[in-house]
Amino acid sequence: MEKPTVVRDKPRGPIPVLCALAILSFTGLQLWPGATRSNPPVVAGGAMEEQLRVPPAVSGLLYRSCGDCHSNQTRWPWYSRVAPISWQVTRDVAEARGIMNFSDWSSGPGSDPDLEKSWLALICSAIQSRQMPPERYLFLHPEARLSADQVATLCNWTRAENIRLSERDQSALNINQAAVAAQRR
């Protein structure tokens, strides 16, 4: 008589269990309330374009390469709704808006003439050194990468605008000095 063959399951090991735990954890993360994605209203009269002379070509470059983080006109991509990536994206946008916000320029860099000129110089410096836009942003947004010509366009604009602002400030100073001298007479 033949002995019956017993089929034994192969030991599965920890991999299926770990995969199931990873899927459950990822699903659970989606239920965790993350930071709110928002686009606050653009401050009337306070946007960079209303405070400075920004040619359309420069504005286009700034918003294409910088505006998703440094304005209230963020285009929230699909991955900004998937935890834990969404937490990093909303934190990056909030931090960038807190540093410099094109949509609310008048209460940030535009609130002080010297600060405004410094920020214009910093814009040029950050893009020339390739600190901005950050590489991790460019990985998912290659269209935001600036060519050498585009960097030159932005830096030429920041320099020209700094000269214009300095001349404006000097003119205002001269007018104030003339008014004080007239009052002394």
Q: What is the pLDDT of residues 64-96, one digit of tens each?
A: 999 999 999 999 998 888 888 888 999 999 999
**Secondary structure element (H or E) that encloses residue 65, with its range:** helix 56-65
Residue 55: φ, ψ to 5°: -60, 150
Which amino acid is present at 53?
A: R
The C-alpha atoms of residue 103 and residue 154 are separated, in whole angstroms, by: 18
Higher pLDDT, 44 or 25: 44
Q: Which of 146, 58, 155 is nearest to 102 (CA)?
A: 58
Which DSSP symbol is given to 46?
T
| Model-wide pTM > 0.95 | no
The token duo for 166 is 């300095």
What pLDDT score was predicted for residue 80? Answer: 86
The C-alpha atoms of residue 113 and residue 165 are separated, in whole angstroms, by: 8
